[in-house]
Structure 1
Amino acid sequence: MKKLSKNENVAVFVSLVAVVAFFLVGLVSALVSKITVTNIDAEVPGTPVEVNASNLAARDLVVGEGAEAVSGKVITVHYVGTLDSGQVFDSSVARGTPFTFTLGVGQVIQGWELGVRGMKVGGKRTLIIPPELAYGAIGGHPLQTETLNFEVELLDVKDSNL
């Protein structure tokens, strides 16, 4: 049997990593599609949030009346992210710069993909996102074991230029 060169060994390794990553993405997608959301307080304004997410809790603080956040749209939000301890770990509000992303194309964590969908411009929603829908799948991320709490305000919804 022929001994592989260093470049060939690297190519084999990279190929194996790509195959494993492909299967992990498929597994996570399959798991996310089978789970349900919890409306954390039925006494607040608005209707229960209908999204598919394991242990994702959502509560509308303010129900918006503008355009709806749906897959493929460019979404602009302000948010404050806290840990269960109350410590703020990220905030577009503190930076004074709203965050913009395209919904449904994997630019944000799964908890946001699922929890922001269906909001309307002017709305504010609290999301409690378990690690498996946040950074739990990202090995070595400092927040991989943390439940993340977000207060998200939907500022704008636009068509994508893609």
Structure 2
Amino acid sequence: MADVLTKEQRRRNMQAIRATHTSIEDKMSTDLWRRGYRFRKNVSSMFGKPDIAIKKYKIVIFIDSCFWHGCKEHGNIPKTNESFWLQKLARNSERDQEVTEYYQAGRWGIMRIWEHEIKQDYHVTLEKVIKFIEYAKKIHAYKTNKARSNFNPPG
């Protein structure tokens, strides 16, 4: 099927798609901030530019859109220039895997959330993120207390 938009219309449409500060990302981060969680958004100095990062607890959270990250349930391949899109979306998935493996190798907690999870049941997804953060805080506290108890000052 031919594209219903002209090349110029399609170009403007694609340029308007934002990589950061999407409505679902902003909603999630606003609610986490209101609940007292402090974090950095879209940290460009970190590998993969996580949507939410809490370095203190070594956690990163990625909110993956169904289209750009190749969701098996809701992602779709445009019919025009299909070979380009197949290659593009496959590379995005490979990059996501590389980022996940990078953080796992560094013993970071990593959470990936699909766009459709947020849209289908926002409150359940928000609670899932909060539980993830709280678990990381407990691990951090345990490691900190264990390190202090093993510390013997000289003298």
Instruction: State whether TM-score is above 0.5.
Output: no
Higher fraction of helix: 2
Task: State the TM-score, normalized to the length of structure 2.
Answer: 0.30
Q: TM (normalized to structure 1)?
A: 0.29
